[in-house]
C-alpha cells in the first residue's frame, strides 16, 4: 500500500476522552472512530489488525478440530425463554420487537441458538465429539462502556460450543480449548495466563479466564510468579489426545493464579513470599464446562450405544477478538506509539522515502516495494511529500515492527537503513539484504511459510 493512496486519518492531538494508552493510540493512529457510546467504526488500519487476529483465531480453531459456522446477531426471544435466560440475563441484553410485535434480541452470546442447531440435526453418539464456533459481533448493554474497544457495547467475539457424549469427553474439550488458546495468544505476541474464575450468567462449575497482565486491566489478579516463566512455544500436540491436553492443562494451571472473584488468601499465603504477585489483568478469553445446563431444558439429546437418549455434555469458550487489539497495545507500546508483534502487524514493513521526487530514491523504494510484495509480504510505503520527521513519527505511531529508510546519501554507498521498532536499533545494509532479513523474520511467523 502507498500511503498517499491510503486512508489513514492520523490525529496530532491526544484525544481527551481516552483514558488509557491503547484507546489513545487507536484513535491517534486512525484505527477506530466512535459511532456512539461503546460502538465503533473500524477504519482501515484497525480493521486490518482485527482481520489478522481473526485469521489466527480461525487457524488455531481449525488446528484443534473445531468447525466454523455463522449465526445471526438478531435472535428470537423464544429460544431464550426455553433455557430460562430471557428473564435471567438482565439489562445487559438489548431487547427489541419486530413489526409483528415479536420479541427479539441482539445476541450477547449464543448457547441457545447453537443448541437448537444441534438438536435439529444431531441424534447419535456417532456424530460426536463436535465443536462448532463462530466469530460474530455481540452486543451487551454495558453500564459503563469505556477504554475504547476494551469494554465496548458492540464487540467481536469468537464463541465456541462443544457437544460431547460424556462428562469425560466434555472435559477433554475443555482441556483442548485451554491448550488451543495458549497457542492462539502466543501467536499474537501475548502471554495470557489461565486463571481459575467465577462462572457468572453462563453458569457451570469449571471455568478459567485468560488474563494479560497490564496496569490498566480491570481485574485484580493474584499469582505465583513462576507462572510467567511458562511458554507454550512451538511444541507439537495431538489435540485428540486426552493425555496430552490434560498434561498441558496441569502444567499451566497447577500454580496459583486467580482473579479477585476466586482469590483465596490462605492458599495464596502458602506460596513463598518472594513469588507472590498482585497485579492487574485484562480478560481476553474464558472457557466453561457446564454439563447439561442447556441440553437438558432444551432437549439436546443423542442416542448412546445402548440406544438410550441422553442429554449431551456441553461447554462454551470465548475469545475477545476486538478487545485483543487493546490488550496487545497495552502490552506492547512506548511513548511514541504502538509496537505491533509480527504476528498481527497491519503491514509487515514500512518504507520511508527521505527524498520523494529524487529519481534514485524513488526507484529504490519502488524496487523494495516490489520485492516485499513478491514475497507475499505487505509493505506500507510512505511516498508522501512530507518532511522526514513527520514520516518517522507516523511510522512510530502506527507501530510497524520494521522500517526501511531510503535516502540519496545511503544509496550512494549502496545501502538503506533497517530499523527495528521494538529496539530502535538500525543497521545499514544493501537493499537485497534488508529484504532477506525481513523475509527470514516473517518466515517464522506466517503460517505455511
What is the x/- site pattern for ligand ATP, positions 194-213, by CB under 6 A?
------x-------------
Decide whether 80 or 381 has the Cβ nearer to ligand ATP: 80
Judged by CB under 6 A, the stretch of 24-32, 51-59, 148-156, 346-354 that binds ligand ATP is 148-156
CB of 44 to ligand ATP, least distance (A): 21
Compute the distance between CA of residue 297 and CA of residue 203 in angstroms, rounded to an integer.
14
Under the binding rule (CB under 6 A), the answer on residue 105 touching ligand ATP is: no
Restricting to residues 315-354, which ones interact with ligand ATP according to CB under 6 A? 318, 320, 322-323
Among candidate residues 180, 170, 238, 172, the one with its CA nearest the CA of residue 210: 180
User: Rule CB under 6 A: is residue 366 a binding residue for ligand ATP?
Assistant: no
Cβ proximity of 21 and 331 under 8 Å: no
Pick from 30, 152, 315, 341 the residue near ligand ATP by CB under 6 A: 152
DSSP state for residue 229 in the 8-state scheme: G
* Nearest-angstrom CA–CA distance, 96 and 104: 5
Under the binding rule (CB under 5 A), the answer on residue 207 touching Mg ion is: no
Q: Which residue number, 298 or 325, has a Cβ lying nearer to ligand ATP?
A: 325
Distance in angstroms (rounded) separating the CA atoms of residues 249 and 251:
5
Q: Which is nearer to Mg ion, 214 or 434 (CB)?
A: 214
Residue whose C-beta lies closest to ligand ATP: 320
Q: How far is the CB of 25 from ligand ATP (least distance, A)?
A: 17
Size (the chain), residues:
449
Cβ proximity to ligand ATP, 33 vs 235, nearer residue: 33
CA gap 300, 118 in Å, rounded: 7
Considering only the stretches 107-115, 149-157, 223-231, 283-291, report the one whose residues sit in contact with Mg ion under the rule CB under 5 A: 283-291
Which one of 247-255, 278-286, 398-406, 433-441 is the stretch in contact with Mg ion (CB under 5 A)? 278-286
Q: Which of 111, 135, 323 is nearest to 218 (CA)?
A: 323
151 binds ligand ATP (CB under 6 A): yes
Instruction: Please list, residue by residue across 76-109, b when 16 or more beta carbons sit within 10 angstroms of its beta carbon and e when fewer do.
Output: bbebbebbebbeebeeebbeeeeeeeeeebbbbb
For ligand ATP, what does the binding mask look like between residues 155 and 174, x meaning CB under 6 A?
x-x-----------------
| Shortest spacing between CB 27 and ligand ATP, in angstroms | 17
In the three-class reduction of DSSP (H, G, I as helix; E, B as strand; rest coil), residue 373 is classed as helix
Contact 210, 193 (CB under 8 A): yes
Q: What angle do CA 125, 131, 133 make, to 5 degrees?
A: 150
Report, in Å, the least distance between residue 56 CB and ligand ATP. Answer: 15
Tell me the CA distances in angstroms from 423 to 20, 80, 160, 419, one per residue in order.
Answer: 23, 51, 38, 8
User: Between 286 and 316, whose beta carbon lies closer to Mg ion?
Assistant: 286
* Count of chain residues binding Mg ion (CB under 5 A): 1
User: Is 284 near ligand ATP (CB under 6 A)?
Assistant: yes
Decide: is 286 part of the binding site for Mg ion (CB under 5 A).
Answer: yes
SS3 at position 209: strand
> Binding pattern to Mg ion, positions 145-174, x when CB under 5 A?
------------------------------
Distance from chain centroid for Cα 150: 11
Q: Which residues pair with 74 in a beta bridge?
A: 106
Determine the distance from the C-alpha atom of residue 197 to the mean position of all C-alpha atoms in its chain, rounded to a whole number: 19
> What's the Cα-to-Cα distance from 212 to each of 215, 284, 320, 437, rounded to whole Å?
10, 7, 12, 30
Please identify which residue in 142, 206, 224, 436 interacts with ligand ATP, judged by CB under 6 A. 142
Pick the stretch among 53-61, 136-144, 188-196, 279-287 that binds Mg ion (CB under 5 A).
279-287
Q: Which residues of 150-184 are buried (b: 16+ CB within 10 A; e: fewer)?
A: bbbbbbbbbbbbbbbbeeebbbbbbbbbbbbbbbb
**Of residues 22, 286, 332, 394, which one binds ligand ATP by CB under 6 A?**
286
Q: Are strands 402-406 and 416-420 parallel, antiparallel or unpaired?
A: antiparallel
Q: Would you call 349 helix, strand, or coil by DSSP? A: strand
**CB 240 to ligand ATP: min, Å:** 25
Contact range with ligand ATP by CB under 6 A, out of 57-65, 249-257, 282-290, 341-349: 282-290
Q: Which residues bind ligand ATP (CB under 6 A)?
A: 109, 140, 142, 151-152, 155, 157, 200, 283-286, 318, 320, 322-323
Q: Which residues bind Mg ion (CB under 5 A)?
A: 286
Amino acid at each position: 500500500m502507498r500511503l498517499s493512496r491510503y486512508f489513514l486519518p492520523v490525529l496530532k492531538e491526544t484525544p481527551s476522552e481516552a483514558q488509557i494508552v491503547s484507546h489513545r493510540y487507536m484513535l491517534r493512529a486512525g484505527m477506530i472512530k466512535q459511532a456512539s457510546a461503546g460502538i465503533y467504526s473500524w477504519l482501515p488500519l484497525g480493521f486490518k489488525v482485527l482481520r489478522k487476529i481473526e485469521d489466527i483465531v480461525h487457524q488455531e480453531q481449525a488446528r484443534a478440530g473445531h468447525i466454523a459456522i455463522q449465526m445471526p446477531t438478531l435472535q428470537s426471544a423464544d429460544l431464550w425463554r426455553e433455557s430460562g435466560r430471557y428473564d435471567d440475563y438482565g439489562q445487559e441484553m438489548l431487547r427489541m420487537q419486530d413489526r409483528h410485535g415479536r420479541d427479539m434480541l441482539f445476541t450477547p452470546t449464543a448457547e441457545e441458538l447453537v443448541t437448537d442447531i444441534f438438536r435439529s440435526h444431531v441424534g447419535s453418539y456417532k456424530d460426536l465429539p463436535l465443536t462448532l464456533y463462530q466469530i460474530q459481533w455481540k452486543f451487551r448493554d454495558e453500564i459503563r462502556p469505556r477504554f475504547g474497544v476494551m469494554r465496548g457495547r458492540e464487540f467481536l467475539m469468537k464463541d465456541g460450543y462443544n457437544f460431547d457424549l460424556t462428562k469425560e469427553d466434555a472435559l477433554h474439550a475443555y482441556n483442548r480449548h485451554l491448550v488451543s488458546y495458549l497457542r492462539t495468544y502466543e501467536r499474537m505476541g501475548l502471554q495470557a495466563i489461565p486463571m481459575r474464575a467465577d462462572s457468572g450468567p453462563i453458569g457451570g462449575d469449571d471455568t478459567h479466564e485468560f488474563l494479560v497482565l497490564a496496569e490498566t486491566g480491570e481485574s485484580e489478579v493474584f499469582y505465583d510468579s513462576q507462572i510467567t516463566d511458562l511458554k507454550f512455544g512451538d511444541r507439537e500436540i495431538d489435540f485428540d489426545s486426552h493425555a496430552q491436553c490434560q498434561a498441558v492443562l496441569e502444567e499451566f494451571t497447577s500454580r496459583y493464579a486467580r482473579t479477585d472473584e476466586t482469590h483465596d488468601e490462605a492458599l495464596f499465603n502458602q506460596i513463598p513470599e518472594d513469588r507472590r504477585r498482585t497485579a492487574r489483568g485484562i480478560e481476553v478469553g474464558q472457557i466453561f464446562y457446564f454439563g447439561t445446563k442447556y441440553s437438558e431444558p432444551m432437549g439436546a439429546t443423542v442416542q448412546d450405544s445402548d440406544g438410550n437418549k441422553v442429554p449431551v455434555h456441553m461447554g462454551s469458550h470465548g475469545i475477545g477478538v476486538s478487545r485483543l487489539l487493546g490488550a496487545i497495545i497495552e502490552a506492547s507500546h512506548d511513548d511514541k506509539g504502538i509496537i505491533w508483534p509480527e504476528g498481527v502487524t497491519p503491514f509487515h514493513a514500512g518504507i520511508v522515502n527521505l527524498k520523494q521526487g529524487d529519481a534514485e530514491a524513488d526507484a529504490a523504494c519502488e524496487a523494495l516495494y516490489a520485492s516485499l510484495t513478491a514475497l507475499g509480504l505487505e509493505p506500507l510505503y510512505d511516498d508522501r511529500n512530507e518532511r522526514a520527521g513527520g514520516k518517522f513519527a507516523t511510522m512510530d505511531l502506527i507501530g510497524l515492527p520494521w522500517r526501511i529508510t531510503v535516502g540519496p546519501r545511503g544509496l550512494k554507498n549502496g545501502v538503506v537503513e533497517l530499523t527495528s521498532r521494538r529496539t530502535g536499533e538500525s543497521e545499514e545494509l544493501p537493499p537485497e539484504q534488508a529484504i532477506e532479513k525481513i523475509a527470514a523474520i516473517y518466515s517464522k511467523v506466517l503460517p505455511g511459510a
